[in-house]
Amino acid sequence: MAIEMKYICDRCKASQDTAEQMWDVAITCEANNLYRGQYYAPTKQQQAMWCRKCVDAVGVMAPMILRAESQPVKSTIEDMIRAIVREEQE
C-alpha cells in the first residue's frame, strides 16, 4: 500500500507531486494603539498554497528570493578551460 501526495494550487487548481515551487501565501491583519499602550490580538491568519506561476502573476514574491534567483551563476576555471578547448577544436 502506498500513499500518494498531490499538491494543488488554491488559486488556479494546478496540481503537482512535490511541494517544490509551491508557496504559502498568507494575509494577516492586526490593530494596535501604541499611543495608549493598548494592543489588540491579530485576526486569524488566512493562508493558501499557490503555485509559482500564480505567485509570479500576482507579484507577491519576496524581493530577497527574486534577487537570489536572478544572480547569474559564476563560471568556474574548469568551465572556462573547457570553453577555450571547444573554441580551439572548432
- Return the closest-CA partner of residue 14 out of 68, 47, 71, 57: 57
pLDDT at 14: 93
pLDDT at 6: 92
Its pTM stands at: 0.52
User: C-alpha grid cell for residue 52?
Assistant: 509559482
Q: Which residues of the chain have pLDDT under 70?
A: 30-44, 62-73
User: C-alpha grid cell for residue 45?
Assistant: 491568519
Domain ranges in the chain are: 7-89
